[in-house]
Structure 1
Amino acid sequence: MALGGSRPRGRRAAGGWAPCAALALGWALGWALGAEPPHRCRPDAALLPPPLRRLGGPALLRAAVPRLRGGWSPCQLYRYTPGTPGTPRPNGTGPCTRGWHYALPAAGLRANLVTQWDLVCASRWKVPLEQTTHLLGWTLGSVTAGLACDRFGRRPTFLLSLALAVPVGLAVALALNFLMVLVARLLFGAALAGAFLALYVARLELCEPPHRLGVTMVAGVFWIAGELLLPGLALLCRDWRVLQGAVTMILALLAACWWCPALLLESARWLLATQQLERARKTLQALAEDNWPQDSLLTELEALSEGSPQPRYHAVCEIFSTRVIWKNGVILGFAAFIGSGIRHCFTRNLAPHLPHFFSSYLVLVGTEVAACLFVCLTAERFGRRAILLLCTVLTGISSLLLLALTQYLLELIVLTLSVVGTAASHAVTMLSIFFASEVLPTVVRGAGLGLVVGASFVGKAAAPITAIPNSRGFFLHHVVFASFAILAVLSIMLLPESQGRNLPQSLQDGENQRRPPLFRRPPCEDHLPLLSSHGIPHDYSHLAASTKRMLGSLDTPHEM
């Protein structure tokens, strides 16, 4: 996919990249909506003895709110025994009775979900519940959209998901109670996940082998740019309802513009794999007008045009009857789950050193930038499998060292291991998803990739679950994921290498993938099929149609 100087080709490339920024805004929105600002109880004069009720200002605060080492108590008020002679002294504490005073803004907002419904102290568990519900929406949306991609196409699924995100996003902004927020955020996450997955698959299937990684990493840069836009947008909006409405309007504009086929075409690769020849011919003609290289697909179209095949769709259940495809999908889904779930073990060590929302947010986005650059610079040179193995090893070693030696290591070493582990775990997730998109066959790529992406969001749900107050499961969480990381290292070596190879089209193509030696660069059989030295079977039936067309052109007399 050389982007050259052709304006239509540049427009189609931008059509696969620009939506990532808007989708990233919707994804990162939850961090701002659930940010907990510093807070304390409002003094309640009714709880004070009569001599103290006339106090005001700082004196009233000292008499009503306990003082802790880090400031005022966030959840307690003093209690006094009525009728006690002499100077009144508190004899205990109790919960807040008149609400809370918040130190605003929080994450650039003067009001968010926490301040709107007082999701602190006894109600603090509702914030992890909202975050987990939103991640559940992304999981369900990934799986559902994957099935829709393989049955109805990539472009309709993308547009329908965007169209659904607009009314659901408005429902979040206009929510009347917390329950309505939970349901709307669940559906909002599902709609965003559907758009993300459909766009990811459509963009990948448009690329030739040498450009797949670069195009996907550029899309990752647009995603990071969208995350970086969130703090500025929050500072402009100042209220969570306005911020949600602004992101929804951006998605509405995106849906209106991307309805034009000039920005996003249906995947010609999927149309050919499902034998929808007329639609495939129109799509390939549009790509040919833009000088977009799709020679292999044109050859396949000519071969299929000799008969009258009927469209054939494949269900995700067919994956379970395969051996190689099923193995690859399980291993990469497991790796994506580990990379997402173990990340919280590293970010928890960074939290005490990054007390402010913007500092922690920018550090996490910075680790995503580092992971994206590392994968972009190494995965094309050394292969997907080797770099995924390296990142998993780094993740596992960092996790084990922090698990066993945190109390004995210097603080600087702990921070370094946490940053390295955070970046490496994100690289594991990102590369697992990309690797899965290359080894899964076109006929079930949407459904298979949806399961892998869904597994990654299940792993992300570990962070809000362990953040529930009074939760004692963090140590067990760390032990389990560190052990899983070691298991993932062993299983990754069973994967094939997809670097430089054409995407598998059919289930048979996916089953024919073989595991090459780990430290030897595999030959690019797809570019030199007649010179293959490994005896891998190739399908040369496509050469028949090209040969007939060439012979026909030689027999045609030329006019002088």
Structure 2
Amino acid sequence: MATHCRRQDPPPEENGSVLPAAPLPPTPTSPSNPPPPLDYDGCVLPALGGLGGTWQRRLLLLTWLPALFIGFSQFSDNFLLDLPDYRCRGDNGSHHQHPPSSATTASPLSPPPPPRELLHLNDSGQGPALPNSSRDDCKCEHWDYRIRAGLRYNVVSKWDLVCGSAWKVHIAKFSLVVGLIVGYLVLGCIADWVGRRLVLLFSIIFILIFGLSVALSVNVTMFSTLRFFEGFCLAGVILSLYALRIELCPPGSRFMVTMVASFIAMAGQFLMPGLAALCKDWQVLQAIIICPFILMLPYWCIFPESLRWLMATQQFEASKKLILHVVCKNRMHTESDIKGLMPELEKELARRPKKVCIVKVVGTRNLWKNIVVLCVNSLTGVGIHHCFARSMMDPEMKIMTILHNFYADYYTMAGIALASCLAMCPVVGFLGRRGGLLLFMILTALASLLQLGLLNLIGKYSQNPDSGMSDTVKDKFSTAFSIVGMFASHAVGSLSVFFCAEITPTVIRGGGLGLVLASAGFGMLTAPIMELHNQKGYFLHHVIFACCTLICIICILLLPESRNQNLPDSIPDGEKYTRQPLLPHKKGEQPLLLTSSELKDYSGLHDSAAMTDGVLENVTANGMKST
């Protein structure tokens, strides 16, 4: 095979630097000066058929199917830990009833609500007060519950997690998210060291163990602890499948393949209410959510390691076996279809495997900046998403102001996420990764700033009877800005993860994905933290995230564009991803930063500079020639 299977990228140069006039003479290959690596996207993947082969299509389908199970697990908290309406069982049911903090209307599948006079009003008489452990209302031994989420029994009703024990619900929500964060960070690094396949398989085994154990919990402490480990294993499944999916695709198909997996996960979100209504009990629902992962156990036999990762880490013996296996499965002719590829691979067999940890990124010049920018974008997008969702609730009544119904509110949130993903497809296809991320971040910042500033102004005018402004107008503006903000912030979070997966080299892609997904997890912690503090500090959280959106807009301009670009396999490849102008310069216009090809026109500068250096060698500091 000709040398076109080797990477021919020029060495990275500084902005404004000038390349040498003539190429340097080639140096002989030696252990200290190895040949350039094989070009996977330009040579290996096309030789194996790209995504057109039967083997590649089967693997792609195997990475899509688990997304449905992941969708079930990610949204299970909305049903297992939903705070129901409750009242004391004594006094012939005449004791005060306490509605949950998120809605006051029961779901269609729940029993009819009690008479309105049973509702306990707060001191101002404007709405229902939240229960307090110090009040006489909570001095009750047995409670009656009306669960709105389609279940007859959930975790709250199982262990009476109301009044003084209500904080345990938030800890249970907290434990799953913390497990996800720790899993992303730890298993991401392990995936770069032992491979994506082993992390996926062991995560599947242990999520079955811990997930089914959750359904057998005997108290809330055991439930929260097991949920942590369930989240830890779920993180391994999500991360390894994401990396395998990205590394399997050619440059032009990566985004659409990832979006298909997102749509399948959203299908799980839409199906969860029906699944909960069929199960009735939270333990049955938990078991039904986890049991489908049993279908992934055969992956141990049928799912191979990532070929791109094997070649990037110089495991060429295993790469050769896998290539021959792909050729056999795709029924290709070895001599004609991969002619020249095997001889080049044979030359690499003497090289020892070389694995890299994510900490190596600290010594880079561009790569660490790109990863940090995308982590901040992910944190901001997911964190402010909850602030927008909280803004759709009346601050005094603490109820949803859209449709006052659990199912309607749930499907409204899911519909906004679906619309966001649908909008991402044409926007990213037209503007690219960086342009799309910038557009959605600008929309997020505008929605946030208008909600914080304009609504404050409307609130002042609404106090004046002659202004014509009312609280209804303020609520409508708040709802509109919240919908736009949730729409844009969901796209920011999703696109940040995908962008990081593309620009992070293969040798540390697991660690890079782990960092950006963990950053999104920290943004998800905003919800249980604010609920644990009874929504105190909500406005400050929103202001902080709104300021972060402005910083992110500036930082996004520093990112490179990865659309239709080959995935970097090594850290030097990732260093060559430098930013380009958002808009291409016009023909005949001199750009501020010249490309490598354009710098060749200035090769004469090197000759003149060399001649000048030669003259100055014989000139002393006072300008006199030396003899």
Taking structure 1 as the reference length, what is the TM-score of the superposition? 0.82
Alignment length, in residue pairs? 499
C-alpha spacing 1:456/1:140, structure 2 compared with 1 (3 Å): same
| Structure 1 gaps, min length 5 | 49-60, 80-91, 523-530, 537-560
| RMSD (CA atoms) | 3.2
Cα deviation 1:505-548 (Å, max 9, x = unaligned): 111001111111012399xxxxxxxx984669xxxxxxxxxxxx
Instruction: Say which of 433, 446, 465 aligns to 1:397.
Output: 446
* 1:500 shift after superposition: 0.6
* 1:12 shift after superposition: 2.0
Amino acid at match of 2:316: L
* 1:277 shift after superposition: 0.7
Amino acid at match of 2:432: G
Measure, in 1, the Cα distance between the counterparts of 2:331 and 2:377.
34
Aligned to 1:305: 346
Cα deviation 1:261-304 (Å, max 9, x = unaligned): 2xx331111100100112112222333345599x9999787545
Amino acid at match of 2:408: S
Amino acid at match of 1:23: I
CA contact (8 A) 2:55 2:326 kept: no
CA contact (8 A) 1:146 1:447 kept: yes
Measure, in 2, the Cα distance between the counterparts of 1:296 and 1:321.
40
Measure, in 2, the Cα distance between the counterparts of 1:99 and 1:70.
28
Please tell me whether residue 322 in structure 1 is matched to residue 364 in structure 2: yes
Instruction: Say which of 72, 78, 92 aligns to 1:31.
Output: 78
* 1:369 shift after superposition: 1.0
Measure, in 2, the Cα distance between the counterparts of 1:505 and 1:122.
54
Instruction: Say which of 154, 167, 172 aligns to 1:125.
Output: 167
* 1:439 shift after superposition: 0.4
Instruction: Say which of 434, 437, 462 aligns to 2:498.
Output: 434
What SS does structure 2 have at the residue aligned with 1:283? helix
Instruction: Say which of 492, 502, 515 aligns to 1:451.
Output: 515
C-alpha spacing 1:343/1:73, structure 2 compared with 1 (3 Å): closer
Instruction: Say which of 553, 556, 562 aligns to 1:489.
Output: 553
Cα deviation 1:185-232 (Å, max 9, x = unaligned): 000011011100000001100000000001000111111111122111
| Superposition map of 1:49-198 within 5 A | 75=131, 93-104=136-147, 106-198=148-240
Amino acid at match of 1:148: I
CA contact (8 A) 1:76 1:95 kept: yes
| Superposition map of 1:228-307 within 5 A | 228-254=270-296, 256-261=297-302, 264-289=303-328, 291=330, 302-307=343-348
Measure, in 2, the Cα distance between the counterparts of 1:454 and 1:488.
18
C-alpha spacing 1:332/1:71, structure 2 compared with 1 (3 Å): closer
Please tell me whether residue 344 in structure 1 is matched to residue 386 in structure 2: yes
Cα deviation 1:450-476 (Å, max 9, x = unaligned): 011011011111011111253421011
Amino acid at match of 2:481: L
* 1:171 shift after superposition: 1.2
* 1:392 shift after superposition: 0.6
* 1:412 shift after superposition: 3.0
Measure, in 2, the Cα distance between the counterparts of 1:420 and 1:361.
17
Q: What percentage of residue pairs aligned between the two structures are identical?
A: 37
Instruction: Say which of 578, 588, 604 aligns to 1:514.
Output: 578
Aligned to 2:12: none
CA contact (8 A) 1:139 1:454 kept: yes
Taking structure 2 as the reference length, what is the TM-score of the superposition? 0.74
* 1:433 shift after superposition: 0.3
C-alpha spacing 1:292/1:211, structure 2 compared with 1 (3 Å): farther
C-alpha spacing 1:218/1:63, structure 2 compared with 1 (3 Å): closer
Aligned to 1:17: 64
C-alpha spacing 1:21/1:43, structure 2 compared with 1 (3 Å): same
CA contact (8 A) 1:206 1:267 kept: yes
* 1:23 shift after superposition: 1.2
CA contact (8 A) 1:42 1:96 kept: no
CA contact (8 A) 2:320 2:345 kept: no
What SS does structure 1 have at the residue aligned with 2:87? strand
CA contact (8 A) 2:50 2:250 kept: no
C-alpha spacing 1:311/1:138, structure 2 compared with 1 (3 Å): same
* 1:3 shift after superposition: 8.8
* 1:327 shift after superposition: 0.4
CA contact (8 A) 2:132 2:164 kept: no
